[in-house]
């Protein structure tokens, strides 16, 4: 696999983002969505995260978008404004080739630059060794498993919660304003 470039997403990436997410909806447990949203819905979702100043990145290889990642608000109450949840999706031809690690590493870096203090991952399927391993390799620690939280592909699926401190985590009060949660 040739070199992968991580960059902020643009409107021109929406077709590829929609296709990658659609494949993940239909073939994986990384999302509990069962019907792939159309490009207009994906554009709306992306715009909502960008409006909060949150990073929405793509991985590009040889001019083709092969994956994407973004940080979203963990919860909508104001006290959570220093905590984000990561989402990483890779296209079928890029699975297992380091694209997810490159995306998540860049996402962590972008969130730390914003002054955020915690990042969590809510991973579908306790058997999802690839995602659990990726997060562990980048400093996330497993905080718990919520059994049988979703029903997809004819079976009950667990959620694995992982967490990584950013900028010292909860060791001191935050020194940045955090994200803006208005307009949610």
Nearest in space to 120 (alpha carbons), one of 174, 72, 65: 72
Going by their DSSP bridges, the two strands 83-90 and 118-124 should be labelled as parallel
Residue linked to tokens 């079976």: 155
**CA proximity to 32, closest of 42, 24, 43, 41:** 24
pTM, 2 dp:
0.93
What is the per-residue pLDDT for 75? 92
Backbone phi and psi for residue 39, each to the nearest 5 degrees, phi listed first: -65, -35
Domain ranges of the chain: 5-171
Structure confidence by residue, pLDDT tens digits, 63-100: 999 999 999 999 989 999 999 999 999 999 999 999 99
C-alpha dihedral over 64, 39, 184, 31, to 10 degrees?
-70
Summarised one tens digit per residue, pLDDT across range 33-63 is 999 999 999 999 999 999 999 999 999 999 9
The CATH number of the domain covering residues in 5-171: 3.40.630.30
Q: How many residues are there in the chain?
A: 184
Token representation of residue 64: 């083709």
CA 162 from chain centre, in angstroms, equals 12
């Amino acid at each position: 696999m040739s070199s992968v470039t991580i960059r902020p997403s643009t409107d021109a990436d929406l077709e590829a983002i929609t296709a990658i997410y659609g494949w993940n909806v239909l073939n994986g447990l990384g999302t509990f969505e069962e019907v792939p949203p159309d490009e207009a819905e994906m554009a709306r979702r992306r715009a909502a995260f960008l409006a909060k100043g949150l990073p929405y990145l793509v991985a590009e290889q040889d001019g083709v978008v092969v994956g994407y990642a973004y940080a979203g608000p963990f919860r909508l109450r104001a006290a959570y404004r220093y905590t984000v949840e990561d989402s990483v999706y890779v296209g079928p031809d890029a699975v297992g080739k380091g694209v997810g690690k490159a995306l998540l590493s860049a996402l962590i870096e972008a969130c730390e630059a914003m002054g955020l203090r915690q990042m969590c991952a809510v991973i579908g399927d306790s058997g999802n060794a690839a995602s659990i391993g990726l997060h562990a390799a980048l400093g996330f620690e497993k905080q718990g498993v919520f059994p049988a939280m979703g029903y997809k592909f004819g079976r009950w699926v667990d959620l694995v919660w992982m967490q990584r401190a950013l900028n010292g985590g909860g060791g001191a009060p935050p020194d940045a304003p955090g994200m803006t949660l208005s307009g949610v």
